[in-house]
Structure 1
């Protein structure tokens, strides 16, 4: 069966430029790739025809021979897809051709490979993290805080270029500026970071004596951070461009301030609400009364204890909690009563309590209800 014309296979005219041929090949290879046409048994053969055509037409010498003699130019084992002594060479050419379409299919997903000699020498600096501990009172009010951050800044001696005396980096001879090198292993092309330039694509013959070619130096930097009112543990504040300087003039990273609010001796926080456990005497809980409680703003609030209050009872003070971050809402404060049992009683106090217990059995409804339920439980178990 006669072979199809290579130009027809790629869908280009005979006088097409190398750029047009390469573009047509990539389009066809994407369209006919077996992974995209698993249900089409003819796709693999068509895909091989496209690669064979491109392998010929991308090479100036092969293309000139093909234009003059057609397929007859490669009879006798000279073709890229022939067996014998030319077989391994053909496999290499196919893998090289396939790597071009692999770049298009997966290059964006893998972060790209850069242009021709043009992988950018500049690398973005790292983001930094700073853990900042503040008090609950500071979280309530908000504050300006000055922090000292160890970081890497642009080298002033070489303006971040990494080169001494205004000289410029040169294209890496190992990877030709790509930042990566490829090794052929049969059908596959293995790619790894260039060991000479560490992926930068360029090398410096005369490195800066201050930064030793990195384009940046270690330095502590003081920054003023605005902590808004209402922050809580886990709040993250981003300071754009305040991270590490990039390598060789690359863009600067960001600084992230992570907030941790210390535990408070009086208040427990849940979101915007505050909880405060207040001890009261048995007499106050029984007879009722007024008490003063602290508030997070440093003030006081008077709370009325109802007569007959039980331990654990909560009372709400509206608007006395924490502000919502970057909002006008304010939480509430909850007072929880802790009825305190007196200790170190005198003999007289003990006698009075015993006497009080004898005459107040009917005034303890919870106890009466509980022990009544206990008796019913035991009676049911006996039955």
Structure 2
């Protein structure tokens, strides 16, 4: 739901009734992960996607039905040899989708409106909803924001709300969307209730050091991937907004000084394109000791060898140097700035998602890698592949 925050908030402000279909769990090879959403308003307007097209038609019908009867349901879609292109996932995976109506007088509407408004403003926001449990609890929202309180509730025991808020805050702090298993009274216990926690946090940062032609291309790719992109260079004649109109920020400063003073986190990507020792060495000496997601540096293998020697002389350890991606980028045979930017972006994605960078053709490796969890509260879903059609409502736990 939160991945459609801007559009859904606009629908809220316009007084539209709508239904939201949200992927709540996946198994095997599935096009989109938990939190992906599709919404349909009372006029039949559609936004978003839950499967890249595989089951959109059937999900649309479920949304229309939910608008008519006001009921929240969870449906499972899997591969079907007989009817794969009608309602099945042609990729062979399994997805569970929750469809929730949000009428103009729905009790949960004010809570969801607050969450969507905050998310649309890029404020850290998490929405927890029951996706497996008693039918009367399905879809009820509990919203956690950047403060310590919460809004709404799951409709059960007060301890359940407090525990759900605590789990949602943990995922919000990590910037992750995932599922949480709870017992009905709020204690952690698989087999009770399952919550989907959707987290929306400000976009991760990409900081590009070096105001060169390659940087201009990388800015465009970084924005396409959803990063907040900053270009930093100590030379004011090159670091200008006119040269980098698509960058969110253009900073004139010595790179290492700027990096030491700016805000970064575990999602931040640092791309060093200067390949000049007077900039690179102090910058990388700082970067490789910071808990960021990715540090890469442009340059030839000769440049890398000289850079490695200088960094060792500066006191960096083998473990710290092992974090450096240099020469930056995957081997695509890139020549132009645009091709080089693509190769850099490909390595960033592969590092983030656990990919190998090898061609999928003939590799036999999984197309969709399961992401590592950095907390006890995330799960990609318990289902493997299926060769039979699956479209059944999740039963209530009584």
- TM above 0.5, one fold? no
Greater C-alpha radius of gyration: 1
TM tier relative to shorter chain: under 0.3
Structure with larger RCO (C-alpha < 8 A, sep 6+): 2
